[in-house]
A and B are shown apart, each in its own frame.
Chain A
Amino acid sequence: MITVDNVTVGYGTAGFIKAVDQVSLTINDNEILGIAGESGSGKSTLMRAVYGDFSTGLRILSGTVTGRFVDATSGQVIEAQSKNFAPLWWDQLSYIPQGSMSVLNPLMKIEQQVVDGLPARERKGGSHALRQRIAGFFSGFGLEETVLDAYPHQLSGGMRQRVLVAIAAFVNPRLILADEPTTALDVVVQKKILLMMVEIQRRQRNSLVLVSHDLGVHYQITDRLVIMYRGQIVEQGPTAEIFANPQHDYTKNLIASLPRLHGKRAVESMGVLA
């Protein structure tokens, strides 16, 4: 679906600060790909380059990010470089931001914020039918229909984050990018939201890229994992393999730093939970 080929991305117009250094990876159809790494490792920058969000001085110095999407209705194949992705936003790709108080427009009802930006194929039927479908979709996230008539400040942090996931998923895109979608939430709410994301992905059979610094999150839901360190990919492979047998020292350190329960590695006890 997306092929990232030897790409170097960074910031600046006059000078240039590298944030992602000669990275190659593939995002396959129908998979959940995790990108892990510490703050400043370049994972968010890489994600912006994949989404095609080249504002605030972000640019690709060398290499390519190529997307290949099969349109669900027409069956047409769309191939484009990520810098030309903007027309595909909220159609072939959607995005789940890190939830904060100000991601949703404070003066607009939730229903309108779901509808705003929807591609034509998801709008079919009258506004009443559309509302029914949104309400049905929301109920799958444990969100009542009254949420549609609420303003963002009336919702709790966990509800707002579920709304953001639902908004991105309702688009029914081929690729969803999620940037630290559960970071600000407590672990119980976090787990619920992660499970919803998995369920949606299995149902829509599209691709989900999950950026998080939290290895526990990756362990729970990703199929494949990419570990980034100082702008480079130091390790990638099936998630289970990486946790079972980490190759790179940095990965070993990350896994070793997970909290332990009864002297065992925390990931093992989480495995019991999951």
Chain B
Amino acid sequence: MALLRYIAGRLVVYVLVIIFALTVLFFVPRLGPTDPVEAMLAKVASQGAYMDAAQVDALRQSLSDTFGLNGSLLEQYWAFIKRIVVTADFGPSLSMYPTPVMSLILNALPWTFGLLLTSTLIAWVLGNFVGLMSGWKPGSTTSRIMEGVAICLYPIPYYILALVLSILFSYVWKIFPLTTTIRGAPWSWDLVTSVVWNSFLPAMSIVIVVFGWWVISVKAQTTALKEEEFVRYARLKGLSDGRILSRYVLPNAILPQITFLALQIGLMFNGSLITEILFDYPGLGLLIYSAVLQGDFNLLMGTISLSVIAVATATMVIDLIYPLLDPRIRHR
């Protein structure tokens, strides 16, 4: 019963957070100076079509109709919430009209998700391993070197690193492609190698920086845990170093790291904006970027709503699975 109440409470908070975020998301872009209808008219005009004032007005009216930009803000807001909550439909993209926003997102999602999930997990496993070792044996040469590397890498912004990597490995030494071009038939080996090849540098730029952060945080955890009384007690029981590390230090050090990992996976839906722009990588980040540039309300709303929902979902999932990992929360 207590468990049901706990889950119900979490679900209510989850829904409220999402509705609040959608509300903010609806109003903020409408406060900006870009008008998608005027942008579209300018685009038409720039393509050389001549229209007199009346025709322009008519087009303006019909564009507003199709984009759902008629009526007062409040009316638009209700229509918007109804559409998203009831049909999960973000409408057509304004800049790539009439492609639905949802299909643009669904095309970009696997790219971002594949890139970031892989690189986040690699960085997490490596970083925690190195951090644990250097916290456990702070004197050893290997841990000093690894820790030094981590401390040097950690403060570098990931986009600077991405820039450096692409200059070094795509321009100076032409090993990896400068921009992402995927070749090969669907589900073919060529496609797989092409994807891995093209994703390598963007992935590295993320792995290296995030790796440093994991090393530093888990090392701090381990150093503190080593001083804990239960570790001293285990040592005075004559337990081997390996057993103390694997059964006493590791489980206690890794718990907070799991929380951070789940949050990172939630944040992933933002895409790594600048990495994707730099490498011309066809993920969510690039999509958000073009939505901002072109005043594409619907697309912007769709991508950002999705990332809000993802973060809220990740947080809820941690809340729901954490009791399985930590007996102190499970048995209260």
Contact = CB atoms under 8 A, between A and B. Distances in A.
B328 A116 contact: no
A116 B243 contact: yes
Give the top 4 A-B pairs by smallest Cβ distance, nearest first: A89-B238, A117-B237, A151-B327, A102-B229
Interface of B: 228-230, 232-239, 243, 247-248, 251-252, 255, 326-328, 331
Given A97-B233, A105-B248, A153 B238 contact: no
A69 interface: no
B171 to A, nearest CB: 50
Nearest to B236: A95
A223 interface: no
Interface in A24-63: 51, 53, 55
B328 A151 contact: yes
Contact of B252 (A86, A87, A107): A107
Contacts of A90: 237-238
A116 B239 contact: yes
A235 B234 CA distance: 34
15 contacts: A51-B236, A55-B232, A89-B236, A94-B237, A102-B229, A103-B230, A105-B230, A106-B230, A106-B327, A107-B255, A116-B239, A117-B237, A117-B238, A153-B328, A153-B331
Interface of A: 51, 53, 55, 86-91, 94-95, 97, 100, 102-108, 116-117, 150-151, 153-154
B244 to A, nearest CB: 10
B85 to A, nearest CB: 41
Contacts, number: 61
Contacts of B233: 97, 103-104
A107 B237 contact: no
Contacts of A105: 230, 234, 247-248, 252
B165 to A, nearest CB: 39
B243 A53 contact: no
Contacts of B236: 51, 53, 89, 95, 97
Contacts of B252: 105-107
Q: Which of B228, B232, B238, B326 has the most CB of A within 10 A?
A: B238
B185 to A, nearest CB: 50
Contact of A103 (B229, B239, B247, B255): B229
Nearest to A98: B229
B239 A154 contact: no
A106 to B, nearest CB: 6
Nearest to A164: B233
B229 A116 contact: no
A88 B252 CA distance: 28
Given A106-B328, A116-B239, A153-B328, A100 B229 contact: yes
Contacts of A106: 230, 252, 327-328
Contact of A97 (B229, B326, B327): B229
Contact of B230 (A53, A102, A150): A102
Contacts of A53: 236
A191 B327 CA distance: 31
A19 to B, nearest CB: 18
A95 B222 CA distance: 25
Contact of B331 (A94, A100, A108, A154): A154
A150 B327 CA distance: 9
Contacts of B230: 102-106
A80 to B, nearest CB: 14
Contacts of A100: 229
A102 B236 CA distance: 15
Nearest to B238: A89
A154 B327 CA distance: 9
Contact of A151 (B235, B247, B331): B331
Q: Which of B229, B232, B239 has the most CB of A within 10 A?
A: B229
Nearest to A102: B229
Contact of B237 (A102, A116, A150, A154): A116
Contacts of A94: 237
A116 B234 contact: yes
Nearest to B252: A107
A153 B331 CA distance: 9
Q: Which of A86, A87, A88, A105 has the most CB of B within 10 A?
A: A105
Contacts of A86: 238
Given A105-B247, A116-B237, 5 more contacts: A53-B236, A104-B233, A116-B243, A116-B247, A153-B327
A102 B238 contact: no
Contacts of A153: 327-328, 331
A142 to B, nearest CB: 21
Contacts of A51: 236
B326 A107 contact: yes
A107 B255 CA distance: 10
Contacts of A150: 331
B227 to A, nearest CB: 10
A95 B251 CA distance: 24
Nearest to B249: A105
A89 B243 CA distance: 15
Q: Which of B228, B251, B327, B331 has the most CB of A within 10 A?
A: B327
Nearest to A104: B230
Nearest to B231: A105
A167 B232 CA distance: 15
A151 B230 CA distance: 13
B247 A108 contact: yes
B283 to A, nearest CB: 38
